[in-house]
């Protein structure tokens, strides 16, 4: 199918399309990973966004389902340079075209992705429309103007209508910990990491209620990754007040959106990056070890916490070495810490998996202090 891409700055591209006959609007972000397109497309953090892959070929290994991070595709659509006609991998169960068609999503390819990436790098993430049913530029301009921008919506509420997982049992024999997860769009890889460390997991989903914790009686609280602007979620829910009531009672750990909400709940500012961090090769310096070490991390976010006005309460644990933005923090007095990257690393690398062990240690220490009190 012939397809068209129109950006909010007026740039217009023509290409080819696979997948479902449809039109899609969203914020376009680019991902520089050379592998892992299945994990990226099924990551709930990409809800409301169109993913532009910089890798030359996408779809060559098909879709195998075991590598998916959720039950469906959350990215609105994808843009890439080339898509092979056939998937060639022994694990493949579907081609990318079949997967997209089943998900009622589409891809546009055979266009200048290098120019697109340069444009986003210079101008910041741009809103756009992809269509393989309407290739008239004037018609697409009108539709783009009239479309409601999903990036301004509470995308977590949209996500909550799609996933119905309630709990996940520990995978290492007898359970050791109960963990309550505030689910803003959690990835399967995170659940697997916690489960492999002996955690029984109960998900608390939107609309969030602190009363749900009473029935769980957890050893720790996890605030998950997710999509959208944390300030919008905070404005439309009581989540920040609920978190304040939780912090003194339980050990807490947050990743990405969860990290940003922890910062917001203590009064930190949230800044939006120009083009975001979306890749699996981001260097992060950790101050948790002596000597300090550098980890290569998987990242997917457009927003970062500005820790300056809460430095009396938090200390920096990780810094992003490309732009010196905050990549991790720990409360000085309460059992709270969080990171702005994905230690579960789906797709890799696995340098930061030890971050989950810190959460286990935090729960152990808290439990001992509580028993000795």
**Which run of H or E residues covers position 185?**
none
Q: Which domains does the chain have, with CATH numbers?
A: 2-151 (3.50.30.20), 157-372 (3.40.50.880)
pLDDT tens, position by position, 210-245: 887 878 889 999 999 999 999 999 988 889 999 999
* Predicted local confidence at residue 166, as pLDDT: 54
Phi and psi angles of residue 162, each rounded to the nearest 5 degrees, phi first: -110, -25
* Predicted local confidence at residue 231, as pLDDT: 93
Give me the residue label for tokens 């169960």: 93
Average pLDDT over residues 110-122: 95
Q: Computed over its alpha carbons, how large is the radius of gyration of the chain? A: 21
pLDDT tens, position by position, 78-93: 999 999 988 999 999 9
What residues does 167 pair with on adjacent strands? 202
Q: How many CB atoms lie within 10 A of CB 66?
A: 9
What residues does 306 pair with on adjacent strands? 269
Residues labelled catalytic: 256, 342, 344
pLDDT tens, position by position, 15-59: 999 999 999 999 999 999 989 999 999 999 999 999 999 999 999
Of residues 153 and 32, which shows the higher confidence score? 32
For the cut 60, the answer to whether the pLDDT of residue 116 exceeds it is yes
For the cut 70, the answer to whether the pLDDT of residue 150 exceeds it is no
Q: Copy the structure tokens of residue 128.
A: 């756009």
For the cut 70, the answer to whether the pLDDT of residue 373 exceeds it is no
CA 148, 139, 11, 39 torsion-angle sign: positive
Of residues 208 and 292, which shows the higher confidence score? 292
Of the candidates 134, 95, 114, 178, which has an alpha carbon nearest to the alpha carbon of residue 6? 134
For the cut 70, the answer to whether the pLDDT of residue 278 exceeds it is yes
Q: What is the pTM of this model?
A: 0.94
One-character DSSP codes across 187-221: -HHHHHHHHHTTEEEEEEESSP-TTHHHHH--SEE
């Amino acid at each position: 199918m012939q397809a068209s891409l129109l950006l909010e700055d007026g740039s217009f591209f023509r290409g080819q399309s696979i997948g479902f006959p449809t039109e899609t609007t969203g914020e376009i972000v680019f991902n520089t990973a050379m592998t892992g397109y299945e994990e990226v497309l099924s990551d709930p953090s990409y809800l409301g966004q169109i993913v532009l892959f910089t890798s030359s070929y996408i779809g060559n290994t098909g879709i195998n389902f075991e590598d998916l991070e959720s039950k469906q595709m959350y990215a609105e659509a994808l843009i890439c340079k080339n898509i092979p006609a056939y998937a060639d991998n022994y694990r493949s169960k579907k081609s990318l075209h079949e997967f997209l068609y089943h998900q009622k999503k589409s891809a546009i390819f055979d266009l200048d992705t290098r120019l697109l990436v340069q444009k986003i790098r210079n101008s910041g993430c741009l809103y756009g429309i992809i269509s393989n049913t309407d290739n008239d530029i004037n018609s697409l301009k009108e539709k783009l103007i009239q479309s409601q921008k999903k990036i301004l919506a509470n995308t977590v509420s949209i996500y909550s209508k799609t996933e119905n997982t309630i709990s996940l049992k520990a995978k290492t024999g007898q359970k050791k910990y109960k963990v309550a997860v505030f689910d803003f769009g959690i990835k399967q890889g995170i659940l697997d990491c916690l489960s492999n460390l002996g955690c029984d997991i109960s998900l608390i989903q939107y609309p969030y209620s602190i009363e749900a914790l009473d029935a769980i009686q957890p050893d720790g609280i996890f605030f998950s990754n997710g999509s959208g602007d944390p300030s919008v979620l905070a404005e439309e829910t009581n989540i920040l007040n609920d978190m304040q009531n939780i912090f003194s009672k339980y050990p807490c750990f947050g990743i990405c959106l969860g990290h940003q909400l922890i910062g917001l709940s203590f009064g930190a500012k949230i800044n939006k990056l120009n083009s975001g961090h979306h890749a699996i090769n981001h260097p992060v310096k950790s101050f948790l070890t002596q000597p300090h070490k550098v980890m290569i991390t998987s990242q997917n976010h457009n927003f970062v916490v500005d820790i300056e006005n809460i430095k009396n309460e938090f200390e920096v644990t990780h810094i992003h070495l490309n732009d010196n933005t905050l990549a991790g923090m720990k409360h000085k007095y309460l059992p709270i810490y969080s990171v702005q990257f994905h230690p579960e690393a789906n797709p890799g690398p696995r340098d930061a998996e030890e971050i989950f062990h810190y959460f286990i240690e935090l729960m152990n220490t808290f439990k001992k202090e509580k028993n000795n009190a």
